[in-house]
Structure 1
Amino acid sequence: MPSSEQITYTVATTVDRDAVRDALISFYYPEEPLTTAHRSGAEVTPDDLDNSLAFIDQGTVTLAWLNKTTDGEPAATVVGIAIGGPSDAALNVPIRTSKFADIVAFLDWVAQSSVAMGTRPCYNMHCLAVHPAYRGRSIGRQLVEQQMLVAKRVCPKLEAFTADATARKSEHLLKRLGLCEIGRLRFDQYRDERGDRVFDQLPDGVVVTLEKAL
């Protein structure tokens, strides 16, 4: 059965909504520490997912497609995804669950903790994921570079590109691409209004904020 494969990169449009949703559910959220480490459980909430999908309308979701032809029949599957947008427009849907409220509050805390060292507002990339079967092909690097191009095109007045890395591999990749660390916080440093830990399923969880001038 002869076949060929090629990876291509695009900006997602409304016709890609189902493919974006499938990618987020299948290989982003299951490995996203803010989702999996929350005290309520590891499942993504509907409002969190809807908020990610809302960035499609902003033109700031970039996709890596596996274009495969088998016996002359073409097929395309999303194997990588990155999402970003202006740092002052990160919330695009109503908050409907306590878990998503906790995540939004945590990210606000992270942003405020790094603001003294960083440029605000900025273009912030808050999602980067590659399907496990296709890692090691520089897809993540290409997605970050695509996000930087999107930032310059969609938000030309913003002077900086930032990213919050919750995985060590992502942190190392971003630093290789020239981003500099401006903040590092442990999940267990964050407490809710009662003083309780919110992300208690990952004792050594860390979020690293990095920045690069556009």
Structure 2
Amino acid sequence: MPWSFVAHLLLVLLVPLVLFGGVSRWGKRIPPRRSPLDQEAELSLLPSFLGGFVVAFPTLAILLALPPGEGYGTYLRLAAVEELGKAVVPMLLVRFRGTVSIRKTILLFVASGLGFSLFENILFLVKDPGLSLLRSFTSVPLHASLSAIFGFAYGYSRYQYRARTLWGGAAAVLLHGIYNAGWEYSLGIPIGGVPISILVLSIGIDGVLWHTARKLEEA
């Protein structure tokens, strides 16, 4: 068995699951805003993770059904479908549970993004085992970090009663589109340079938004 296939298999299975485990443990550090039992139920991220995995199938089916296009607009369109697909399950969970914590909302979105990326990586492994290891490795944290941006905007809208969901979704779509286009158009930058830069930028934005959410909730 080629080492590249083994490496892909480990990335496909381990990276999303390890990140999900870390996110779940991190979520338990958030102080309860209600009773401990409510906190435990509200912070269960597994339904969102599994939901993201399941919703990836119809989302990717929609992507395949879209007519082919050219130019950067195509990457934005594909990114919009994926970001909206990842957001469906956590949005429903937040409303069903009555979640009002921005940080808990962020984690639900991140869990869905990790589930989505797990399905996507399995699909890539079956379809093209020779797919760049670098792209496989960066796609998982990218899905999670962009979902966090979308999750902050949605959680902020519910917590502060100010419409910010559209802005968060648009930011996630824009960054995702640039990431995808970066694999095709290097613009003189070494291959992978643009996508990795977008990943680092997204993670940096996540850190700022998480700090902002904590300050708002602890005020």
Q: TM-score range by the shorter chain?
A: 0.3 to 0.5
Q: TM-score, normalised to structure 2's length? A: 0.33
Q: TM-score, normalised to structure 1's length? A: 0.33
